[in-house]
Structure 1
Amino acid sequence: MSSFGLGAKARAAGYRLKGYDAIGSTNSEALAAAATGDPGGIWFAALQQTAGRGRRGREWLSPPGNLAASLLIIPETTPELVATLGFVAGVALNRALSLVLPVGMVRIGIDGADGADGRSRIALKWPNDVLADGAKLAGILLESAKTPEGASAIIVGIGVNVVAAPQGVPYPATSLRALGVQRTAQDVFEALSDAWVDTFALWQDGACVDRVLREWRQSAAGIGAPVAVSQDGSVRRGIFETIDASGRLVIRDDDGARTVITAGDVHFGATASARS
């Protein structure tokens, strides 16, 4: 078993942890725990995944030394608010990175052009990625399952490229090591486990999701800049105006009309501005 450890806040809050050197998928392990009636509040963390997955069933490659972590929780809230847990995870991860990375690498606040193109320091990308210099550094995946008692269990999966970025993927990717940061997956996880406690408390079972979304916007990549959203083979372009109270992407076209996007793949820069 690996040398992962919970942060002091996470331990005090009663969270539990199972750590691994290598595992097929931390999300799968958490789903299995939910199926056997685990009460939740348990992290599964690994230095390597051999069968990880991302959004829409895509493979999530995780070589040795990277962080794969999944949290099993059983929140008491509505399905609509459960969907905003991805933003809770994004804010928590952003807070954790602000603790383990050199000062100035993590964006704080929307300050003019800084981060507007998604290529400045570290920023959150809608709906569930973390970017560094415009390249993917981390990803988040929510999955759900039913407990034997019929309760809705949620798995919050988080993967961070600590020592290496995956090769052969259809998007730019980077790692903490490539950024010149010599921290371990254990360092990132300990900070993440504590940051989750504070951010989840801020969310308050969805009652204060507006506070979480406000903080997410402050560290967002691309607000105010051109964006392209791919959905089932079609592409919608415009200006990334904001995310609404439900966490949906709001874009404005050339005529000023606003469109609300629930799901899709987001692109910034030249791809967003191009016209076919």
Structure 2
Amino acid sequence: MTFTLGPKATSAGYKLAAFDQIGSTNAEAMVRARDGESGPTWFATTEQTAGRGRRQRAWVAPRGNLASSILEVMDVSPAVAATLGFAAGLSLESALQKLSIEANMRRAGTEPLQFALKWPNDVLAERQKLAGILLEAEAVAGNRLAVVVGIGTNVVAAPEGTPTPATSLAALGVQVGAEELFKALAEAWVEFRGIWDNGRGFGEIRKLWLERAFGVGERVAIQTGTTKVEGTFDTIDDTGCLIVRTADGRRMPITAGEVYFGTAASVGAA
């Protein structure tokens, strides 16, 4: 198969740059933005050799996995642009649900997979990390903001030894290709990007995200540098911050950090 856009993405004016192999789809997207590419453009590959996740961690996609990035150039502030990551999570979760249901229909007697969104940027399957999202933004000509949302999904293989146990679609019994997943993702993106509407629709995105959120009401610990916050995952606020309810009843907003739930909370944040 080859990477293609579906009818929704095509009619909405999205473009596609596909690669047999590339260092980083995010890096390529940002280089294009600096050179004047205004998007909206998808960048996709089944083999990424120099990608990165949050905190500059390596994110290598071996052949068969999906590394994809969407470039959107917008007139929004960086703070508003940051909330686009929640629309990305919803888009991927929607695509995965669609493909999982279709795969389930072909495998009689199996239960549909359970997907969830883990703050701030992971998509889980059966409580294991299936995908990660990295959002980057940079000012470009015309006082506009180039926003690149990278979405890396474990299709055929998952890394070992990660802080959160990882899995792949293949390991979960969902036999789909990266190209098929990409097409479903790009179609779902049109819907949730439209709801987000340059930040004006984040209230609805927040509602939809919370309906699919992992760990609401559970014990949580967040490690940010040398600072540790523990409590219960209460909600996310209207800027996308994680709200933790501490033992003394305070509601603390968290903008970034390593997040651990349940029994991992005491281990990971120790």
Range of TM-score over shorter length: over 0.9
Q: Any stretches of 5+ residues in structure 2 without a counterpart?
A: 105-112
Secondary structure, counterpart of 2:58 in structure 1: coil
87-96 vs 147-156, which moves further:
147-156
Q: Would the aligned equivalents of 2:75 and 2:144 in 1 still touch at CA under 8 Å? A: no
In structure 1, how many angstroms separate the alpha carbons of the residues matched to 2:43 and 2:127? 28
Relative to its length, the structure with more helix (as a share) is 2
**Which residue number corresponds to residue 156 of structure 2?**
163
**Which residue number corresponds to residue 63 of structure 1?**
62
- In the TM superposition, 1:28-177 aligns within 5 A as 28-102=27-101, 121-177=114-170
TM-score normalised to structure 2 length? 0.92
Deviation by residue 1:36-61 (Cα, 9 ceiling, x = unmatched): 10111010000010000001111112
Q: Match for 1:80: what amino acid?
A: A
**Which residue number corresponds to residue 188 of structure 2?**
195
Q: Would the aligned equivalents of 1:13 and 1:197 in 2 still touch at CA under 8 Å? A: yes
In structure 2, how many angstroms separate the alpha carbons of the residues matched to 1:147 and 1:253? 41
In structure 2, how many angstroms separate the alpha carbons of the residues matched to 1:55 and 1:234? 18
Q: Would the aligned equivalents of 1:36 and 1:148 in 2 still touch at CA under 8 Å? A: no
179-188 vs 168-177, which moves further:
168-177
**C-alpha displacement at 1:96, in angstroms?**
1.0
Question: What is the percentage of aligned positions where both structures have the same residue?
Answer: 49
Q: Match for 1:13: what amino acid?
A: A
Secondary structure, counterpart of 1:9 in structure 2: helix
In structure 2, how many angstroms separate the alpha carbons of the residues matched to 1:168 and 1:246? 32
Q: Match for 1:82: what amino acid?
A: A
Secondary structure, counterpart of 1:70 in structure 2: strand
In structure 1, how many angstroms separate the alpha carbons of the residues matched to 2:227 and 2:79? 26
Q: Would the aligned equivalents of 1:145 and 1:152 in 2 still touch at CA under 8 Å? A: yes
Deviation by residue 1:3-44 (Cα, 9 ceiling, x = unmatched): 101111000101000111210000011011001101110100
Q: Match for 1:203: what amino acid?
A: W
Secondary structure, counterpart of 2:101 in structure 1: coil
Secondary structure, counterpart of 1:98 in structure 2: helix
**C-alpha displacement at 1:273, in angstroms?**
4.9
**C-alpha displacement at 1:133, in angstroms?**
1.8
CA RMSD of aligned residues (A): 1.8
**Which residue number corresponds to residue 20 of structure 1?**
19
Q: Match for 2:260: what amino acid?
A: H
In structure 1, how many angstroms separate the alpha carbons of the residues matched to 2:139 and 2:75? 13
In structure 1, how many angstroms separate the alpha carbons of the residues matched to 2:223 and 2:2? 40
Secondary structure, counterpart of 1:212 in structure 2: helix
Report how many aligned residue pairs link the two structures. 261
User: Is residue 234 of structure 1 aligned with residue 227 of structure 2?
Assistant: yes
Q: Would the aligned equivalents of 2:121 and 2:134 in 1 still touch at CA under 8 Å? A: yes
**C-alpha displacement at 1:77, in angstroms?**
2.1
The partner residue of 1:271 within 253, 264, 269 is 264
Deviation by residue 1:102-159 (Cα, 9 ceiling, x = unmatched): 3799xxxxxxxxxxxxxx8210000010011221100100111233444210001100
The partner residue of 1:184 within 170, 177, 189 is 177
Q: Would the aligned equivalents of 2:219 and 2:262 in 1 still touch at CA under 8 Å? A: yes
Q: Would the aligned equivalents of 2:74 and 2:144 in 1 still touch at CA under 8 Å? A: no
In structure 2, how many angstroms separate the alpha carbons of the residues matched to 1:28 and 1:271? 33
Pair 1:227–1:195, CA change in 2 (3 A)? same
